[in-house]
Amino acid sequence: MSAILLVEDADRIASFVVKGLQAHGYDCNRVSSGEEALKLLPAVEFDLVILDIGLPGMDGFQVLSTMRGQGFDVPVIVLTARDSVDNTVASFEGGADDYMGKPFSFDELLARVKTRIKKLTVATASSDTLRVGSISLDLMGRKVTRGASEYELTTREFGILEFLMTHPGQVISREQLLSRVWSYDHDPQSNVVDVYVRYLRQKLGSDAIQTVRGIGYRLPNTV
């Protein structure tokens, strides 16, 4: 099930969009401010963001700029009442993938959502190598290189690094790594993730994976 984050302060519009997307099989989370969105993004693996521009406090342009600056490359559809050429250009220049003006047709929004998620799926499936900074991960050969050095990884090490590399710049919690790499409910008090991250650092360098105290780990965009 694809996860979508809706950032919209108008309750009526938000309710309409959330119910519609859920009815078509999407897991849709809604927040009403940019600040809430930026807090949630590192904690949840979203496939798409629908972002209103006219938000209270931090507006959508600021949210988009901050997202891209922090390395979040999740597709973004801008949804706004400010339907003008200047705003359209500003949205795309700021890193948006699509743009819709209000009022809008839900059927059109749904079509755009499907298109963006399909493109994301195809792009992910077609790539045999992940690259972040100086690190390259060969998904077929199950090997990793950093600079001129090549390393062999265990299954767990590979799983952790692959997950971090598909979310460069994002903070990934220990719970997310346990769920994805170990694929079952593991004791949340276990330090098994920390142990395997230490193994990866011993191979790739101490700067390869950053610890975000109390939350989890992050692979820097420029590692």
Task: Give residue-wise pLDDT tens across range 48-87.
Answer: 999 998 898 998 889 998 988 888 888 899 887 765 555 5
**Dihedral over Cα of 184, 188, 189, 192: its sign:** positive
| Prediction pTM value | 0.55
Q: What is the DSSP string of 73-121?
A: ---EEEEES--SHHHHHHHHHTT-SEEEESS--HHHHHHHHHHHHHHHH
Cβ–Cβ under 8 Å, residues 7 and 52: yes
Task: Give residue-wise pLDDT tens across range 134-178.
Answer: 899 888 778 899 988 899 888 889 989 998 998 888 888 888 888
